[in-house]
Chains A and B, each alone.
Chain A
């Protein structure tokens, strides 16, 4: 009930902030935006975490909005999130970008009205992390990226079919922590250019796929005075541990609940934005670890897939795994345990549960 209440509060806060900022931005950029068409172009409206899924070729414009989240201890934490311009569906993490291999990404960032810092860390960018793009598209201010809005164009080859991420690269110690991140998935395509459901260019097909964006939150980094070159950023004490923006403190209050048909093949894309260590496992209702297969790391196919029951997901890394569901119905609990960078000790409340019904 508490989790449900928190969710409602999040939604209401996000919705009001979204409405106000969208109204303001819309007055300035009424003609510039390509709002819901980009989302609708995918044929599906939500990905993991209830976020929009956007075709990266669509010319969509992303904006940055403040979203206040009420955490499990009742405290409010402000986040800055990417959001499809014109959409009221603003979440932590931001919308998933999907790009067909060989197709040309073409999307925009509009920072008018966005929450931001004072110089030298003003504005925002999009860094297509793991896509190995040209310097001009890399979103790094220190090497020349525009911070007051930009258009991003690039293509990738078949090696990149898999999971990546995008995030702001302005003062990343602050802006990543504030929530400016999301999944970026490169999809294989058929002869007509339609996305196909394979884990990598030569890998097996899956029936279901979900993005699990991993992140951690030190509320001190979110405070109003945590700006610029502050000693706040000399220490990191995460208090909240998230999958797709939710805490998921127990199996009965999971961060994410998804459903699939028994016996089918599932793919989970782990996107590691967190700033600590993390261990991913899939357990059944009795707590027994289930095997799964690692196919990609950092969006590139492994030389040989690896079958494991536990997987370390490190900061800045992505991992694509697959599993086959049992023939009989039941539930699995994919979960991530966040751990210290010093000694791999698990944090208090550091295990985030999700639930997979089949």
Chain B
């Protein structure tokens, strides 16, 4: 660290300011810079493919990622996000349930959004201009944590031991992504997705990804935040225990609803508590025909693992 900065940091007023922030429950303001780009996204494994996408990235020299970068804040925090549109078409940026500015950002332009995240939960951010833009990969999750970063779903809400974020989505490679990615016109009346992703991965990767696999000690509670960024409603089936739904698309439930399968509508969110009940390895998968596959290859679709240890 630079000596001047270190000396400045050591000054007592800095200590006092930091301590006041920490103990007042207030938090640091978050600042993000996002770039909208076109590029390719790879679903690995058998049945996988390189898919033309439009997406967000927070690395100015890198390609888009699907879903976009995770955006996070705490209850009551001020957030500033600047979005640079480096694509050839106009786009916008909306955090569903938080921001309302749908102004288009022209190609080559940028726009800054400043807002306060008052309510803990999980939110979908996306381009809302049309269904194509979101299908092409312009989406991601915004997680608002409880103030102070404590392990509660929200201040005075239910506690958890571990947390996971699952962004599920679908893409119709040949009819939508290949066409739009090449500058063509998509016939939006026909949508037959053949790729179903969990955090941007096919199931083969998602069943090995540490931040996606729902893993905990028996008796622990996992908070699972789910964002369905796709065009299809998804029914996610959990093995080894029932869960409790605590939030349905931003509406906190006054009494938690039990289930082993949760239906998350396209473009909506949910939060649930899953208590690890059984030792061992179990699947979590979508319970509809083709959605378990990557272009027909079984289990390389919307699936991951539950591990009780």
**Interface residues, chain A, with chain B CB atoms under 8 Å away:** 121, 129-130, 132-135, 138, 140, 142-143, 159, 171-174, 176-177, 218, 221, 229-236, 275-277, 297-304, 312, 314-317, 341-342, 344
Contacts of A173 in B (CB 8 A): 289-290, 292-293, 298
Q: Quick check: is B118 within 8 A (CB to CB) of the other chain?
A: no
Contacts of B283 in A (CB 8 A): 140, 142-143
Q: Does A229 contact B47, Cβ atoms closer than 8 Å?
A: yes
Segment 243-285 of B: residues with Cβ below 8 Å from A: 255-261, 263, 266, 277-283
Q: Does B261 contact A317, Cβ atoms closer than 8 Å?
A: yes
Q: In the assembled complex, how far is the CB of residue A65 from the closest CB belonging to chain B, in whole angstroms? A: 22
Segment 143-191 of B: residues with Cβ below 8 Å from A: 191
Q: Does B261 contact A234, Cβ atoms closer than 8 Å?
A: no
Contacts of A342 in B (CB 8 A): 191, 231-233, 266
A316 to B261, CA, bound (A): 6
Q: In the assembled complex, how far is the CB of residue A207 from the closest CB belonging to chain B, in whole angstroms? A: 26
17 residue pairs of the A-B complex, CB under 8 angstroms, read: A121-B298, A130-B242, A132-B242, A132-B278, A143-B283, A159-B242, A172-B292, A173-B292, A229-B47, A235-B194, A275-B287, A275-B289, A298-B258, A302-B258, A314-B263, A316-B237, A342-B191
A176 to B237, CA, bound (A): 14
Partner among B232, B255, B277, B298 whose Cβ is within 8 Å of the Cβ of A229: B298
Contacts of B256 in A (CB 8 A): 303
**Which single residue of chain A is at the shortest CB-CB distance from B242?**
A300
Q: Does B288 contact A234, Cβ atoms closer than 8 Å?
A: no
**Interface residues, chain B, with chain A CB atoms under 8 Å away:** 46-47, 191-192, 194, 231-233, 235, 237, 239-242, 255-261, 263, 266, 277-283, 287-290, 292-293, 295-299
Q: Please name the 10 residue pairs, one residue from A and one from B, whose CB atoms are nearest each other, closest first.
A: A316-B287, A135-B280, A303-B255, A314-B263, A300-B258, A316-B261, A234-B296, A275-B289, A234-B194, A231-B296
Q: Does A315 contact B298, Cβ atoms closer than 8 Å?
A: no
A213 to B191, CA, bound (A): 28
Partner among A140, A218, A233, A277 whose Cβ is within 8 Å of the Cβ of B293: A233
Q: Does A297 contact B257, Cβ atoms closer than 8 Å?
A: yes
A277 to B256, CA, bound (A): 23
Q: Does A171 contact B258, Cβ atoms closer than 8 Å?
A: no
Q: Does A275 contact B263, Cβ atoms closer than 8 Å?
A: no
Contacts of B239 in A (CB 8 A): 132, 138, 140
**Which single residue of chain B is at the shortest CB-CB distance from A231?**
B296
Q: In the assembled complex, how far is the CB of residue B130 from the closest CB belonging to chain A, in whole angstroms? A: 15
Contacts of A129 in B (CB 8 A): 237, 260
Partner among B258, B277, B288 whose Cβ is within 8 Å of the Cβ of A341: B288
Q: Does A298 contact B289, Cβ atoms closer than 8 Å?
A: no
Q: In the assembled complex, how far is the CB of residue B135 from the closest CB belonging to chain A, in whole angstroms? A: 11
Q: In the assembled complex, how far is the CB of residue A304 from the closest CB belonging to chain B, in whole angstroms? A: 7
A134 to B280, CA, bound (A): 8
Q: Does A176 contact B289, Cβ atoms closer than 8 Å?
A: yes
Q: Does A277 contact B281, Cβ atoms closer than 8 Å?
A: no
Contacts of A276 in B (CB 8 A): 288
Contacts of A297 in B (CB 8 A): 257-259
Q: In the assembled complex, how far is the CB of residue B308 from the closest CB belonging to chain A, in whole angstroms? A: 9
A298 to B263, CA, bound (A): 12
Contacts of A314 in B (CB 8 A): 233, 235, 261, 263
Contacts of B277 in A (CB 8 A): 132
A132 to B240, CA, bound (A): 4
Q: Does A235 contact B192, Cβ atoms closer than 8 Å?
A: yes
Contacts of A234 in B (CB 8 A): 194, 290, 293, 295-296
Q: Does A298 contact B293, Cβ atoms closer than 8 Å?
A: no
A196 to B293, CA, bound (A): 42
Partner among B263, B266, B282, B289 whose Cβ is within 8 Å of the Cβ of A140: B282
Contacts of B266 in A (CB 8 A): 342
Contacts of A172 in B (CB 8 A): 292, 298
Q: Given known contacts A135-B282, A297-B259, A342-B266, is B290 in contact with A235 (CB within 8 Å)?
A: yes
**Which single residue of chain B is at the shortest CB-CB distance from A128?**
B239
Residue from A298, A299, A304, A344 having most chain B Cβ neighbours under 10 A? A298
**Which single residue of chain B is at the shortest CB-CB distance from A277?**
B233
**Which single residue of chain A is at the shortest CB-CB distance from B263?**
A314
Q: Given known contacts A235-B290, A298-B242, A298-B259, is B233 in contact with A341 (CB within 8 Å)?
A: yes
**Which single residue of chain A is at the shortest CB-CB distance from B196?**
A234
Q: In the assembled complex, how far is the CB of residue B269 from the closest CB belonging to chain A, in whole angstroms? A: 16
Contacts of B280 in A (CB 8 A): 134-135, 143
A174 to B289, CA, bound (A): 8
**Which single residue of chain B is at the shortest CB-CB distance from A144?**
B281
Q: Does B279 contact A135, Cβ atoms closer than 8 Å?
A: yes
Contacts beyond the supplied A233-B298, A315-B261: 13 A-B pairs with Cβ under 8 Å: A130-B242, A140-B282, A142-B283, A143-B283, A159-B242, A231-B295, A233-B289, A236-B289, A298-B259, A303-B255, A315-B287, A317-B259, A342-B231
Partner among B232, B237, B240, B298 whose Cβ is within 8 Å of the Cβ of A171: B298
Contacts of B231 in A (CB 8 A): 342
Q: Does B261 contact A229, Cβ atoms closer than 8 Å?
A: no
